[in-house]
Structure 1
Amino acid sequence: MKKIILLLLLFSGCFSVKKQNFDKFVPKNSKKGDGYIFENNLSHKIEYKNNNIYIIFKTKKNDIENVYLITDNQKLKLKYLSSDRLNDYYYINLEKSIEYYFEIIDGNLIRFYDKTGIKKENNNIEKFKLEKNIQENNLKILGDVIYKLEIDSFYNGDRRNDPKYNAKGNFYNEKFNVTDFEENIDNIREIDNIIYGGDLIGVNKKRNYFKGLNIDTVELSSPFISFSADKSDVIDYRYISPNYFDINDFKNIDFEKNIYTNSDKDFIKLINDFYENNINIIIDVNLNYVSEYFFAFLDVVENGKDSKYFDWFYIYEIKKGFKKIDKDLTGEIKKERIISNIKNMKFKNTLGKPILNVQNEEVKKYLLTALKKWENSKLLGIRISGDKEIIAYLKENLNYKIILSDENTNYNFVINSLKFYKNKISKMEYLSNIIFNEFLDNKIDIISDEYTERVYSALINNNIYDNNNKSIKGDNFLEIRPDLILEDKINELKQIIFLQMWLGKNLDIYYGDEKGMWGGDIPRNRKAMLWEEEYIYLDESDDLFKYEKIKAKLNEKVIIDEVNKKIYYKVISNDKIFNYYKEIIKLKKELKNSLDTISKIINSNDKDIIILEKKDLKLVINKSSKEKKIILDVNKNSEIIFRNNLKNKEKLNIIDNKTELKLNKYDIVLIKTF
């Protein structure tokens, strides 16, 4: 019989341990009760949640029978948590500080596991010594519901500030000429270049929309000056982009100083006004790369090694063809010289975008100064993408209440949900994976963002997860509004949304998901937000050949054009999904104390029925398109408080703490014990 005994007395963190193997015989496969432990697969980590400590212990799949925790005079059995393809996970909750090492027993075999690795004897044990140091879970600061939006795609609040340039800019000409928004500076048409004209004035005008949805925090895409649509490639982190507030600020910006433009002042007012209305603002800051028009990089392009900013970048080589540019040079000649100089420079880049040398002290000082500019406002915080060292530096020196990074985003929930609803993984594998994520207290579960396909569209396509969301998704990618092809996909979407609400500390909404927006035709998920009450949208289209086999299943509202081999359909939001989101948000806020606990899986032999329990709540989901019946253990004081779309109380017929529950197709039933 196998046992792992953990001797513990005090701790506070996570670590990896070196392991050695003393056994000569190694079985081909792991098997419980075979008298062998795969030592190299043993590891553990610590997770903090709600001022509690969880030890999560990992073993090779099917390798051990029991794991015990021994502290003082107590022997506590770790509970099974989950499994993946290779490993089993067990956990235990602790409320006090401890020091520890592990004793591993398998039949007559005894091994000890401490900071130095696996030992035969328990002599000279070096205990893991970690003080309990519960770090405040800063995700709570964000509130229950986060709404993330792309400024340019959200709402055009003032057409007078629409950019007088395309997405690639017209910087070299030293003035902003009106050009086709879908052409770059070299007059090449690209879908990536589309600028919709959304601005921060528009975000401010939609403040009541956020209040109506009961949003706690709005996360804004990068607001800094840039010619790109999403402004991820910044020209200067010290300034808000003038086309988001006051277009005339393009003439006022001084790249040698740090002044407050009208747009900067308007941005601070927006932040403070939202705060007064109980809505916090956080902003995205991308440090992975900057614009080729970044003020310091342009100085290097003009002056080469004589530029005071030369060390701000990783410049590997200045070739012979490079020529310094006279300051008096303007117009097309200057543009040609700049393009030529960039071609004659070899520098570290991402897709041609320069990468800042964030190890340089001047760069660090510049970034710190730029981001401190908003500390006197009510800005809640920032989300930084970039080098871990610069993120750590900024976290240490900035005074915002919350500083997030890419590590705070969890894509595993949406990946596993799509796999489950496409029948690519079993129910138990799905539940094990998503519940394991409940222990990752610093993660936000997302179902869509700028790096993924809209989850609604993903449900009708073969792709599980589109990391880049490029415009080319394969010849057979269905761009159609999903409810026009498979109406039941709305029900699957609702179940995924409910599970996101149930599992996550925060409910994260990517703009438009609440309206049933779909993707497919715009890269980086930047499709323009739907405001049918204000705008008339042209019909969207897709190639008919993709739908030949399922043409008969298309909704009658789809227009089929056999001559041009196209289908056409209306661009409208989905009221059912919108109203559903409103109900889910209410539930999230009302049940927050119960939801902020770890789920327990209740066994069901039906592969399509999910039963989860939290504190005084039971959740039952029928994934099937067929009606079902189950016998459910419940407390005598239990009632249904939510069924599918309706938040209504419903009495249960309870006999001996059991009830027969009739489930409609795609049903979602939430039961509460009073």
Structure 2
Amino acid sequence: MKNAIIFFSIIFMPFITNCSSPKNEEIPRVPEWAKHAVWYQIFPERFNNGDTLNDPKPIDMEGGWPYQTPEEWHTTPWTSDWYKFQPWEKTNGHDFYWNAGTRRYGGDLQGVLDKLDYLQELGITAIYFNPVFESPSLHKYDATMYHHIDNNFGPDPEGDRKIWTEENPEDRATWKLTSADKLFLKLIDELHKRNMKIIIDGVFNHVGSTFWAFKSLQEKQQGSKYKDWFTVKNWDDKNTTENEFDYEGWYGVKDLPEIKEDENGLVESFANHVHDVLKRWMDPNGDGNPSDGIDGWRLDVAEMVNINYWKKFRTQVKEINPDAYITGEIWWKDWNNNVMMNAAPWLQGDTFDAVMNYRFTRAVKKFIMDQKTQINASGFVDSLNTLAREYNKENLYTMMNLLGSHDVERLASVIVNPDIWYDHRAKPSETPEWDIRKPNERERMIQKLAIGIQMTMPGAPMIYYGDEAGMWGGDDPDCRKPMVWKELNYEIETAHPFGKTRPADEVKFNEDIFDWYKKLITIRKTNDVLSNGEVEYFMKDNDNKVLGYRRYNNDESIFIVVNNNDVGKEITLDLQKNKIENDLTDLITGEIIRKNDTGFSFGLQPYQIVILR
């Protein structure tokens, strides 16, 4: 979640750890596997509907924004025109963006299981899931409970709901497995069989207004045993007809009651509950072997929780699985003035392994996507060198190098709409001139160049679901369209959220973009130097908009050259100091470049990247 106010839209036995806590020297600064990861982010409700029988119903939305279900509401057709009003949306008097918050498309865990072959073909080695815990919203950042997977993600929503009533949510000895929980454990197993890792979103700064402990607080007020979990500003006076109860919400949003903190971070009793949750999902059968559990956590709005708690959190996570990965959402320092945070305090070896590297994203945007405010090759290198100076190399090489996420405008639409501050009013409701159209051929060339840079830089590349299919869209909710699959036929996009004229855009799976991702991922995975090698920027030709950099170790060198230009360029590389005598091969095209008297000469097409070995 971003730092801006948003509206919303087997019986488990007590865990017994059979192994002693690992000593500090046994825990690597970062998991080695994370340096080699190719991440894929899945927003569960919008990835794939594998089981229509579990689709959300009005009862599943109760207690969440907007606290009502439109008349005649039902799940939205997966392949419909995104901005087109559904029949029940035409009559409720609300605009597109209000209605988008009430939509459900039915994505679920079976849908993910059905697409594991697809992800494996793409080359994915690790998956990051947006929240999967029970919640009334489409995004699940407003948890009802942490110890169950959302019932609409599993095969038996009604049966799961019955199981909840048989438990004491505070007492893990009473926790059972629902059908959704079991399917999630099956998904973990299937991913591990394919040597793929899985991490999930941990949202521990706040909960939803339907969270079980908060419901107790609302009902019992000062008499609730959970009154110290939340910051209560005013209690209800039972002698009046009004409800004076007031409390602190995340950024003032009452749908998201904020968890109380002391000098150590999250208050102890709530932190103990989170510890139980860690054990449940990281070592589900409690045998001390974490192979049946998730491989780590992505921590939401992490800078809003005292770092002392995250240090304790790291210890707890690494005690369960020393090879687990922890990444944080450390993002905006000053959103209004476009200043991002230096995440170094969280990357000292005692807190997080990595963060979502939005600073990398912004640097790539400013270098190759912006037009009027574009930075040159030297400026781009300066941005990357700043990261390298501020972050320990081990952490830098495990950073999530993303080009899009659930919280920002999609990569393709960033290119269509250059020169706008990243993650700033990037949708028609906030910027009327925002262009919602499909990218053209030139813009797709720039997209490929961005992908090429992402796959050849230090840090683990992350793909937001659908970017590999060519999807486009502005900031939330427009970045959360249903996934485009090649086997489905989609309605042509002709609608505009405010009725403006727009081009008719065909929506279909982009094979060319998919194949490009697949090829670049293969090159990265089969050339280890691209994951763990050093980096040297040997060419910064600002006038010609050409950048050259070398990835190298003691055994090999790979040379990457980027033409950030809409015209072709002739290049000659003098690699004498690198002692390169043999011919070079472009790993993308297979073209052989032979050495001549002046070095290695070749032509670059507009927005072309070459990877030479």
Closer/same/farther in 2, CA of residues 346 and 508 from structure 1, 3 Å limit: closer
- Higher mean C-alpha deviation, range 245-254 or range 522-531: 522-531
SS at structure 2 position matched to 1:603: strand
1:612 Cα offset (Å): 1.0
Do the aligned partners of 1:167 and 1:229 also contact (CA within 8 Å) in 2?
Answer: no
Task: Indicate whether 1:628 and 2:569 are aligned.
Answer: yes
Aligned to 1:45: none
Structure 1 equivalent of residue 273 of structure 2 = 366
1:471, distance to aligned residue in structure 2 (A):
6.4
Which residue number in structure 1 is paired with residue 162 of structure 2? 251
What do the CA deviations read for 1:61-85 (whole angstroms, capped 9, x no partner)? xxxxxxxxxxxxxxxxxxxxxxxxx
> What is the aligned partner in structure 2 of residue 136 from structure 1?
29
Aligned to 2:583: 638
Q: 2:68, 2:483 → 1: CA distance?
A: 32
Question: Which residue of 2 is the match for residue 654 of structure 1?
Answer: 595
Return the alpha-carbon distance in structure 1 between the equivalents of residues 62 and 472 of structure 2: 29
SS in 2 for 1:404: strand
Report the alpha carbon displacement of residue 153 of structure 1 after superposing the two structures with TM. 0.5
Structure 1 counterpart of 2:248: 347
> Which one of the candidate residues 395, 407, 412 is aligned to 2:314?
395
Separation in structure 1 between the aligned mates of residue 188 and residue 26 of structure 2, nearest angstrom: 33
Matched-pair contact (CA < 8 Å) for 1:451–1:469: no
**Share of identical aligned residues, percent?**
25
Alpha-carbon offset, residue 597 of structure 1: 2.1
* C-alpha separation in 2, matches of 1:457 and 1:470: 10
Give the counterpart of 1:205 among 96, 114, 118.
Answer: 114
List per-residue Cα deviations over 1:339-389 (Å, max 9, x = no partner).
Answer: x64x63243443111012253222111111122112132321121224133
Map 1:404-423 → 2, pairs under 5 A: 404-407=327-330, 408-421=355-368, 422-423=370-371
Match of residue 531 from structure 1: 485
Contact 1:636 1:657 in 2 (8 A): no
Which residue of the other structure, out of 433, 445, 452, is the alignment partner of 2:408?
Answer: 452
Distance 2:559 2:297 in 1: 36
**Residues 27-46 of structure 1 aligned to structure 2 (within 5 Å):** none
RMSD value, Cα = 3.2
Alignment partner of 2:534: what SS?
A: coil
8 Å Cα contact 2:540/2:548 also seen in 1: yes
Q: Give 1:508 shift.
A: 0.8
Q: Residue 402 of structure 1 aligns to which amino acid in structure 2?
A: Y
Aligned residue pairs total 500
Tell me the equivalent position of 2:293. 378
Partner of 1:357: 260
Shift of 1:659: 2.4
Aligned partners of 2:93, 2:259: CA distance in 1, in Å? 28
Change (3 A) 1:474 1:167: farther
Normalized per residue, which structure has more strand? 1
2:439 aligns with 482
Displacement of 1:135 after TM fit?
4.5
SS in 2 for 1:413: helix
- Once the two structures are superposed, the pairs formed by residues 47-62 of structure 1 within 5 Å of their partners are none
SS where residue 444 of structure 2 aligns?
helix
Q: TM-score, normalised by structure 1?
A: 0.68
Instruction: Give the conservation status (yes or no) of the 8 Å contact 1:314–1:356.
Output: yes
- Are residues 161 and 273 of structure 1, via their aligned partners in 2, closer, same or farther at CA, if it must alter by over 3 Å? same
Give the corresponding residue for 2:16: none
Q: Which string of whole-angstrom CA distances, capped at 9 and with x for unpartnered residues, describes residues 259-311 of structure 1? A: 22222122112111221122221111112221111111111111111111111
User: CA separation in 2, counterparts of 1:235 and 1:417?
Assistant: 38
Letter in 2 for 1:668: I
Q: Which amino acid aligns with 1:260?
A: L
1:609 aligned to which of 505, 527, 546: 546
1:451–1:468 CA contact under 8 A, matched in 2: no
* Higher RCO, 1 vs 2 (CA within 8 Å, ≥6 residues apart): 2
Q: 2:457·2:530 contact (CA, 8 Å) conserved in 1?
A: no
Match of 2:521 among 576, 585, 602: 585
Residue 415 of structure 2 aligns with an amino acid whose one-letter code is L
Which shows bigger deviation, 659-668 or 210-219? 659-668
| Residue 432 of structure 1: aligned partner | 382
Structure 2 Cα separation of the partners of residues 235 and 544 of structure 1: 34
Shift of residue 322, structure 1, vs aligned partner: 7.5
| Alignment CA distance shift 1:234-1:524 (3 Å) | farther
Shift of 1:455: 1.6
Partner residue in 2 for 1:567: 503
Question: Separation in 2 of the partners of 1:587 and 1:155?
Answer: 28
Off by >6 Å, runs of 4+ in structure 1: 171-178
State the SS of the aligned residue for 1:599. Answer: strand
2:191 to 271, 274, 277: 274
Task: For 2:510 and 2:517, locate their aligned partners in 1 and report how far apart those are by CA, in whole Å.
Answer: 11
Deviations 1:455-481 (CA, angstroms, capped at 9, x unpaired): 210112142301576662311000011
2:162 is matched by which residue type in structure 1? K
Equivalence for 1:39: none
Is residue 240 of structure 2 the alignment partner of residue 312 of structure 1? no
Deviation at residue 170 of structure 1 after TM alignment? 5.1
* Corresponding residue SS for 2:58: coil
Match of 1:59 in 2: none
The gaps in structure 1 that reach 5 residues or longer are 1-131, 324-336, 546-563
Distance of 2:143 and 2:409 partners within structure 1: 24
SS in 1 for 2:550: strand
Given the alignment of the two structures, is residue 164 of structure 1 paired with residue 57 of structure 2, yes or no? yes
Rounded Cα–Cα distance in structure 2 between residues aligned with 1:308 and 1:524 = 41
| CA distance in 2 between partners of 1:604 and 1:170 (Å) | 55
- What secondary structure is seen at the aligned counterpart in 2 of 1:273? helix
Separation in structure 2 between the aligned mates of residue 582 and residue 145 of structure 1, nearest angstrom: 11
